[in-house]
Structure 1
């Protein structure tokens, strides 16, 4: 019983297991500061790919390995909805996100993709694990309300960025989004600089970027690495790399250097007894961030001051847009 509660606690704090989307991107510079992002050969860890292939059929078990992610929708869906409604003033009755195009990066089985589609958004979910995309397609196919709003592809963010750069129908189609969502993804990436560049590349001017992730603190190390992997062995050893965790201050600095302005950062906390997430004043473990694209040409400005205009001290929370 004790181990079970600890398991829910740790899974809630650390989010999903290390994803096969932890690719090592290579960013190729082109003239006029145009950036194309490509995935390097062998960048997807075969062990991680096999792990997520084995879990591909379990995404919609809300009492299984992804229980905490199901519960996280109670926070992340309203967070995305409310911020987008502030930016996009058009309203569709009963569909507050009607007409908004969203890219869900590392979508897994579609746990976040579907509720965004039900709010009226046109959502493309992408993930490098084909089996997870198969699960997502199958699950969404039974809901007629999603058939014209939700689509899935087994690919990476770099793939879409490359398609946009290649021109053709993608130039004005799939790779032009009003928002990009990366929930429980960035802590698995090998190159956040390229992630920021590619997010900028696929977003429209003024587009929103939403991230939920894990802070890089002693507490997150104790719970996510020591307790989960080494002591309780709830999560396989090596599932997370604490060095890839990132603080809100560092993430804001990185995003601002890639053409974004961070608007809000909010702390999140999971209650393992009730299985419920709540907002908190502390960002010491998990946090959600909203940023807006303000520049099309981040590379031209990266020689400038890379620090955030208004650094966020650790644990500080800015008021969310409402």
Structure 2
């Protein structure tokens, strides 16, 4: 019996039907909006503008980890799994940076929208493939396949977060990177993320979020590190509904972005990469903050 066969067999047992990351209620919520992903003035406009900071965050972090990159195509040769890709809002800019992207989403209508949109660009059509499936299905068939996983605005919608993280560990290559953006679980995030954003201003549809599924960066870090990851950076994010733009802030009490790496067995879970003041000024997205309000 080969090691690869053993890993695949173990994955099938671990990520069986009793452990699923897909919440049917969440899928039903997004069903009605599947055709609206590329309406930049519609319900997903905050995600369009989030690309202005989340794409550089991913790009710059990966470039800092390796000096081997091509000018004009900096992510060439990097295999990225975009979990909960929706209509491809993040998959496409990562593909334009040269990455080979696999976007997955449990909702077939989302995948159809993503496929249709990428077909307008022949270069993207070659670099991006989409699949309507769950993360655990990928974990059953793939072991240490991807260099990077991105899960942007996803973890607050999954049914089982620990299974989700275990699956990420399963499919990442050694020292691979995991990027997460999500909402913190604080009183402020409830007021601004649900009461104001959903019920008062209608920035996102009412009922999009369940505050009980939000998670603080401290809780997420503990969960990641107990599952074999090293958290390297945590950065606060803020959305301005009047300008429609995102910015980096010190506080992680509303939204935050996190970068973690699949650790080596001998590494300790308490270490983070130090960042000098000069580096922080040059790359604010790499600032390592965990301030809460």
The verdict on a shared fold, with TM-score over 0.5 as the criterion, is yes
Residue 54 of structure 2 is matched in structure 1 by: 76
- Of residues 227, 239, 261 in structure 2, which corresponds to 1:292? 261
Length-normalised TM-score, structure 2: 0.83
Of the structure 1 ranges 108-117 and 237-246, higher mean CA displacement relative to structure 2 is found in: 237-246
Residue 274 of structure 1 is matched in structure 2 by: 243
2:94 is the alignment partner of 1:94: no
C-alpha distance 158-82 of structure 1, shift in aligned 2 (>3 A): same
8 Å Cα contact 2:23/2:159 also seen in 1:
no
C-alpha distance 86-228 of structure 1, shift in aligned 2 (>3 A): closer
Q: How many Å apart are 1:85 and its aligned residue?
A: 1.0
Q: 3-state DSSP class of the match of 1:148?
A: helix
8 Å Cα contact 2:8/2:140 also seen in 1:
no
- Of residues 208, 212, 219 in structure 2, which corresponds to 1:250? 219
Residue 84 of structure 2 is matched in structure 1 by: 106
Residue 309 of structure 1 is matched in structure 2 by: 270
* Matched ranges for 1:117-156 at <5 A: 117-156=95-134
Q: 3-state DSSP class of the match of 1:124?
A: strand
* Matched ranges for 1:139-178 at <5 A: 139-164=117-142, 176-178=145-147
Q: Whole-Å Cα distance in 2 between the matches of residues 142 and 233 of structure 1?
A: 31
Q: Whole-Å Cα distance in 2 between the matches of residues 81 and 68 of structure 1?
A: 20
C-alpha distance 73-146 of structure 1, shift in aligned 2 (>3 A): same
Q: How many Å apart are 1:273 and its aligned residue?
A: 1.2
C-alpha distance 202-233 of structure 1, shift in aligned 2 (>3 A): same
8 Å Cα contact 2:22/2:158 also seen in 1:
no
Q: Whole-Å Cα distance in 2 between the matches of residues 40 and 49 of structure 1?
A: 18
Q: How many Å apart are 1:240 and its aligned residue?
A: 2.1
C-alpha distance 310-154 of structure 1, shift in aligned 2 (>3 A): same
C-alpha distance 257-141 of structure 1, shift in aligned 2 (>3 A): same
Q: Whole-Å Cα distance in 2 between the matches of residues 32 and 76 of structure 1?
A: 32
Q: 3-state DSSP class of the match of 1:147?
A: helix
8 Å Cα contact 2:76/2:98 also seen in 1:
yes
Residue 206 of structure 1 is matched in structure 2 by: 175
Q: Whole-Å Cα distance in 2 between the matches of residues 33 and 42 of structure 1?
A: 17
8 Å Cα contact 2:230/2:270 also seen in 1:
no
Alpha carbon RMSD of aligned pairs, Å?
Answer: 2.9
Q: 3-state DSSP class of the match of 2:98?
A: coil
Length-normalised TM-score, structure 1: 0.76
8 Å Cα contact 1:126/1:152 also seen in 2:
yes
Q: Whole-Å Cα distance in 2 between the matches of residues 229 and 179 of structure 1?
A: 32
Q: How many Å apart are 1:144 and its aligned residue?
A: 1.5
8 Å Cα contact 1:261/1:291 also seen in 2:
yes
